[in-house]
Amino acid sequence: MKKKHNPLPLILNEGYILDVYYDDYDTMMNSAENWDHYCTYQLRPNALKGHHQILQLHSMQLAYVQRSGGFMYDVSPPRDCFTFAVLEECADKACFDRMKLQSGDMVFFDDSRPLNFMTNNTMKLCVVNLQKEKMGALLPKFSQALYHTIKDTDGVMSKALRDIWKNFTDDHECKMNIKAIMDAEEEINNILTKLLREQTPILPKLTKGENIVLNIRDQVYRHMDGKISIDSLSKQHQVSKKTLHNSFNSLFGFTPNYFLRQLKLNLVHNELKKSNPRQSTVSKIAQKWGFMQMGHFSGYYSQLFGENPSKTLHREHHGAIPIIEKSCVSRQEEII
């Protein structure tokens, strides 16, 4: 069953500041103010290690995000908001919805649906939520840019957002000053208006193979089972394995085999965390998701999660938030 899209409204407390380093799922989620993240897949070690900084103004929330490793998840911005993100730094690949992004890109989106976000390495971005009802003359221009990108020319927006954060965190009186808050919002609006006036928002071009890879991503993200393989996907989508290989690397920086394996490892990890060691075994759960050679499986698992699978199964998980909910996978097939 697919998770129902029902984002919460943006809740703002003028001058509120949060600055949190995290290395686990619970802390990441709890520090993502006004956002909903779910169906989180760790694609590389340290995927859940990062830094969240939040600043709330009068009608905007500014978020500064750093991630240390590759990940993929669905994200929902707050309700009744338009949002833009500036990708400040990207060590390799980043893909948001159906857009391939690079450092310096600005992307625009709304609250109408969950959006898939994937990076294969470290990255840094700034994200701004704007209440629609308070956007004024900026609203039509922003609406035209939805699900398109522009360039943050000379890093002007990125620098302004960082300077605003520094001003409010260095000066305690600043965050309680209504004029400082309104001046910060006016600066952001002016820069955004100028960038949108000077550029025509574009939809980054993708090759036919990359579009197929995005279709496969959407398919396996919701419909993973142990039988899925590169051969089966190649036949289903009528594309050569070489094209799949090249397109996966171009879009995600992974081979298709690596991508599918990492997703299946996450599903094993999630099931081990939920299982009773007196009623299940590592080998049974691993084989359910297509891992037949236990030696190779254990090595892959330990490299990604930093512990052997038996330790995960036998650890007590006292009410931990599941990274992958039932709604994230619509079918699970046992391999007999």
Q: What's the token pair of residue 151?
A: 């360039």
Whether residue 207 is contained in a domain is answered as: no
Q: Give the residue from 198, 225, 244 where a domain finishes.
A: 198
Tell me which residue range forms the domain holding 219. 214-328
Whether residue 161 is contained in a domain is answered as: yes
* Residue 173: per-residue pLDDT: 66
Asked whether residue 188 falls in the same domain as residue 301, the answer is no
Return per-residue pLDDT of the chain as tens, 336 residues: 456 778 889 999 998 999 999 998 889 989 999 998 888 899 999 999 999 999 999 999 999 999 998 999 999 999 999 999 999 999 999 999 999 999 999 999 999 999 999 999 999 999 999 999 999 999 999 999 999 999 999 999 999 999 999 998 887 666 668 888 999 999 999 999 999 999 999 998 999 999 999 999 988 887 776 677 889 899 999 999 999 999 999 999 999 999 999 999 999 999 999 899 989 999 999 998 889 999 999 999 999 999 999 999 998 765 555 677 766 766 554 432
Whether residue 334 is contained in a domain is answered as: no
Asked whether residue 267 falls in the same domain as residue 302, the answer is yes
CATH classification at residue 238: 1.10.10.60
Whether residue 59 is contained in a domain is answered as: yes
* Residue 5: per-residue pLDDT: 77
Whether residue 335 is contained in a domain is answered as: no
Asked whether residue 146 falls in the same domain as residue 36, the answer is yes
Asked whether residue 190 falls in the same domain as residue 219, the answer is no
Q: Does residue 55 contact residue 165 with C-beta atoms inside 8 Å? A: yes
Whether residue 87 is contained in a domain is answered as: yes
Asked whether residue 229 falls in the same domain as residue 186, the answer is no
CATH classification at residue 71: 2.60.120.10
Q: How many CA atoms lie within 13 A of 177 on its CB side?
A: 12
Q: Give the residue from 174, 198, 222 where a domain finishes.
A: 198
> How many domains, in total, are found in the chain?
2
Helix, strand, coil shares, percent, the chain, to 5:
40, 25, 35
Angle at which helices 178-198 and 138-145 cross, to 10°: 50
Asked whether residue 180 falls in the same domain as residue 239, the answer is no
Q: Does residue 269 contact residue 40 with C-beta atoms inside 8 Å? A: no
Whether residue 99 is contained in a domain is answered as: yes
